[in-house]
Every structure is written in C-alpha cells, then in structure tokens.
Amino acid sequence: MSDYDYDVLVVGAGNAAFSAAHAAREQVSRVGMLEKATMAELGGNSYFTLGSFRATYHGLDDLRPILSELDEREADRYDLDPYPVESFAADMLRLTRGRTDPTLMRILVEDSFPTLRWLHGHGVKFKLQSDNQVFEVNGRKKFWGGGTIATVGGGIGLIEQHLAAAKATGIDVRAEHQMTGFLVGPTGAVEGVVCRTPQGERQIRARAVVLASGGFEADARLRAVHLGPGWDTAKVRGSRHNTGEGLMSALGIGAQAYGNWSGAHAVAWDINAGPYGNRVLTNKLQRHSYPFGITVNVEGDRFVDEGADFRNYTYAKIGSAILRQTGGLAYQIFDQRGVGLLRTDYGHEGASQVVADSIRELAEKLDLNPGRLERTITGYNESVGDRPFDPTVLDGLATSGLEPPKSNWAQPIDRPPYVAFPVGCAITFTYGGVRVDEDARVLNQADQPIPGLHAAGEVVGGLFYDNYPGGSGLMSGAVFGRRAGRTAARHSRDRG
C-alpha cells in the first residue's frame, strides 16, 4: 500500500481546480480535491460568474463544434468578427500596459481555444453570449468586445458540469477541508497538505499538489495591507472563502511572490448588495452599462471617462475609481436612450434604483446638490458631438472640452424619465500571486521549481496588471489548470 493518499491532490474546487483535476485524472488514478467550503457552497468565485470565456476563433464555424446551444436561424443574422491570437495578445498587452508576463500571456492566448475544446470533451457546455454581448445594428446582430462564448447555465452551470465530470471519473471531492499548510519532505519537495476539518486537523499526503485556492480578495486585512487604504471597506463580489491561506502558505515555503500585488479586479456593484456574493443573484448585482450614461460622485461631479473603451476593457478598473470617491459611492445616471441599452442584470428584482422626471427631482431623491447635478449634466450635454452613435464599435462620439472626457457613446442625457443606479466598489479577485513556469510549476525565489508544487487560477500572479480583458479569468484557470494537472500527474508518476 502506498504511503500517499493521492497521486495528485488539488486544493480548491473552482474552475482552475476542476480543470487541474480532470487533466491529472487523464493520467493517474487517485486524484483528490480539497475544498474549504461546505458542499452547498462549492465552486469558489467560478460559481458566481457569467461563465464567459475569452478565447480565440476565426469565425462561427470554429465555434460550432463546441456549442451546445445555437439557434441556426438566429445565427444567420450574427456578425462575428474573427478574434485571432494576435487580437487577444494585443488586448492583454494594451490593458496591462505591456507588463503581462510574456510567456504566461502567450500560453493563455495560444491555448485558449484548444482548452475550450478540451473542456467541451469533459462535459462543459458552451453557448454564444447572444444577450449581453450583442447589439442590433441595421438588422444585423453584432458581437463586440471579444466577449463571445459562455457556459450554458453561467457559473452555476459550469460548476455543476465540472462536478458531474469529476464524479464520473472517480475524482474524490472533499468539502470542509481548509488547507492551512504544506507537508514538505527532507529534500524540500511538497508531499501533501495540512487541513482543518470539522473532525480536527488532518494531514493528507500526495505525490504532487496543485494549488488552485484563489486569491486573497475575501480577507479585509490582507486587502488593506496589499491593495492599500480603503480596500478593507470594499464588498466582495464572489466567494467569502478566498482568504489567501493557500497563497500565503506557498510563500511561507519559499514560493516567489509575483505580479501586481497592489492591484485587483473590482467593479461597479449595487450599493445595497451584501458583503459577499449572493448565490442566487450571482453576477446580476454588477452594473456594467455605464458607457451609455454618466457616473457622478456624491458631490454631483463626473470622475471617470465612462466611454474610454468597450466595457469589457474598463469594467475591471471602474470599481477602484468608485472606491476613491467620498464614501465609496457613485450614481450611474441614464436617460431613456441609455435605459434601452442596459444589460439584463439591471432589471433583477430588488435592484437599487431611483427614477425621476427631472434632473432636479433626481438629485433631491438621491440627496445630491440639485444645482450641482444640473450643472454637471448641462455641461456634459453641451459638450457632446454629433457623430452617429453605434454601441458595437468605438464610435468616437466624444465630448469636447470636458474634464474628464467621455470618449465614445456620448449621447446627451435629456430624455426623461431619468434613472439612477447607486453603486459601490466590489472586488472580484486580486492580481498578485505566486510565480509559475510554463508547466505551471511553482517557482522559488531562485526561479527554480519547488518539487511537487503546481498552481493555477487566481493564485498565480503575472498575467494581469491594473486591468483585465473580460472572460480571461476562467480561461486562464482552465489553461493553467490543465497544464498544472498534467505536470503534477507526470511528477507523481516520476516519484512513484
């Protein structure tokens, strides 16, 4: 009988962890997953997602074989520009201002589509994002911003499909196992983990470990320490369990800290949402349609270029801009032109919103200075240009002489009733993590692999700096999870 409980042990049960477990199980028989949460709360941040995966493709024909849902009659009306490797790479470089790790970025981009096909082979179901990523222009339904593919059933569906695949192949998923440290052998190799369970502390031994336990976004103290003042007050958009024990334990055994440790993905979020993600509403509390209105702070002033780019390329940094405002509070304001373009999320039951027939009345209802808000909106309306409006392209319909500018989609706000959505900042995940090589092996401070330790997902640093292209988190978890699982299985066999 082996001394080891598992050939490969994966810490976490989100998308990166399941991807690692499936890949390991292709090569070795005893694969385990340890999840801190209860079975009812399984799935990490991945559960709360829309299930949007950013991947490359040349056109609809590339995607057809992996789509479980496609209305062929509707498909005739779709315009889907190709999204080749060069475009994904250019988006990563542009948004991170050239700081993304070139090796990790190349792997993410080049492996994206093959990994979608591989996930599809493991029972993950995909569809086109034909609701919130499409606008109809001249009778054609045009996809925009690289957000094209999502899982059937969103994040909830993704986790259900992963779990079903894991059960079918005999992967052992153990809930209520909070990893608190590593078992390290005399040569420095990782040989398992220490866990806190309802029955007390346990040691679980494995020939190889994959760390996929997420970032530290759900720990207020670590947020304040690493992201800076004010971040302790941010709400958490997803799981309450990503509090960084796995990440900090890895640093504790010599893993190299890597990437943008003071940076995080954070969005505009319904001001009345709870402190952590809501497992029924999941991503519906997000407020991503700000490019089609204006956003003001409690002083009644604009503070951000709402139309700087497609929202897929700005939404991850708008949360931090809101956090910096008085009280961490802002209001997205739309007239009836903007209201017609809102994402479906805005319409959920209980969404916080205020409606008024005039700007003055709106200001009074929001407890803002009415004269100031009227001045802001009049100034904005007077500065907008007169080019044609097109939400599917960067239409250049910009303000002139206004600070901050609105660079695209700047239509006047003058058609009542007006609607305001109060928003705060919610953190999605932290960008800093451990350093991995191209085989997803965790590196020490001398750039050497720590034997037996692999990592994937949010716990890895180096890909995202300051900003992020929507849909890349799940894609990165799957790409590097698959690599980590494969390498861990190989390491496990070599050790045997």
Ligand X SMILES: Cc1cc2nc3c(=O)[nH]c(=O)nc-3n(C[C@H](O)[C@H](O)[C@H](O)COP(=O)(O)OP(=O)(O)OC[C@H]3O[C@@H](n4cnc5c(N)ncnc54)[C@H](O)[C@@H]3O)c2cc1C
C-alpha 281/C-alpha 283 separation (Å) is: 6
Number of residues that bind ligand X (CB under 6 A): 45
Residue environment code for 211-235, b if the CB has 16+ CB neighbours within 10 A, otherwise e: bbbbbbbbbeebbeebbeeebeebb
Per CB under 6 A, 293 contacts ligand X: no
Query: Which one, 213 or 407, has the nearer CB to ligand X?
Result: 213
Query: Which one, 282 or 392, has the nearer CB to ligand X?
Result: 282
Asked if 20 and 212 touch (Cβ cutoff 8 Å), the reply is: yes
Query: Which one, 17 or 66, has the nearer CB to ligand X?
Result: 17
Per CB under 6 A, 52 contacts ligand X: yes
User: What pairing do the DSSP bridges indicate for beta strands 52-53 and 264-270?
Assistant: unpaired
Distance of CA 400 to CAs 123, 218, 291, 374, 391, Å?
51, 41, 16, 19, 19
Cβ 21 to ligand X shortest distance, Å: 11
Cβ 239 to ligand X shortest distance, Å: 5
Per CB under 6 A, 13 contacts ligand X: yes
Per CB under 6 A, 160 contacts ligand X: no
Q: Evaluate the omega torsion of the peptide bond into residue 417 and state whether it is cis, within 30 degrees of 0.
A: yes
Cα Rg of the chain, angstroms: 23
Per CB under 6 A, 12 contacts ligand X: yes
Asked if 8 and 210 touch (Cβ cutoff 8 Å), the reply is: yes
Specify the stretch interacting with ligand X by CB under 6 A; choose among 49-57, 68-76, 250-258, 414-422: 49-57
Cβ 191 to ligand X shortest distance, Å: 17
Per CB under 6 A, 192 contacts ligand X: no
Query: Which one, 63 or 333, has the nearer CB to ligand X?
Result: 63
Residues in Cβ contact with 6 at an 8 Å cutoff, skipping those fewer than 6 apart: 30, 31, 32, 172, 204, 205, 206, 207
Per CB under 6 A, 20 contacts ligand X: no
Specify the stretch interacting with ligand X by CB under 6 A; choose among 10-18, 89-97, 294-302, 331-339: 10-18
Per CB under 6 A, 46 contacts ligand X: yes
C-alpha 131/C-alpha 149 separation (Å) is: 11
Ranges within 252-291 binding ligand X (CB under 6 A): 277, 282-283
Asked if 467 and 95 touch (Cβ cutoff 8 Å), the reply is: yes
Which of 7, 91, 305, 458 is the binder for ligand X (CB under 6 A)? 458
Which of 9, 31, 37, 413 is the binder for ligand X (CB under 6 A)? 37
Query: Which parts of 98-148 are beta strand (E)?
Result: 126-128, 134-137, 140-143
Per CB under 6 A, 83 contacts ligand X: no
Which of 145, 146, 192, 246 is the binder for ligand X (CB under 6 A)? 246
Query: Which one, 291 or 319, has the nearer CB to ligand X?
Result: 319
Residue 468 tokens read as: 């992020």
CA dihedral over 350, 359, 312, 461, signed as positive or negative = negative
Cβ 125 to ligand X shortest distance, Å: 15
Per CB under 6 A, 124 contacts ligand X: no
Residue 448: CB atoms within 10 A of its CB come to 13
Per CB under 6 A, 16 contacts ligand X: yes
Cβ 168 to ligand X shortest distance, Å: 20
Distance of CA 330 to CAs 1, 41, 312, 344, 406, Å?
61, 31, 20, 20, 17
Query: Which one, 100 or 242, has the nearer CB to ligand X?
Result: 242
Ranges within 314-353 binding ligand X (CB under 6 A): none
Per CB under 6 A, 28 contacts ligand X: no
Residue 9 tokens read as: 């042990």
C-alpha 234/C-alpha 224 separation (Å) is: 10
Query: Which one, 384 or 484, has the nearer CB to ligand X?
Result: 484
Residue 42 tokens read as: 């399984």
Helix axes 154-168, 15-25, angle to 10 degrees: 20
Ranges within 401-440 binding ligand X (CB under 6 A): 428-429
Cβ 213 to ligand X shortest distance, Å: 4
The footprint of ligand X (CB under 6 A) covers 11-17, 34-37, 43-46, 48-52, 178-179, 212-214, 237-239, 241-242, 245-246, 277, 282-283, 428-429, 457-458, 471-475, 477
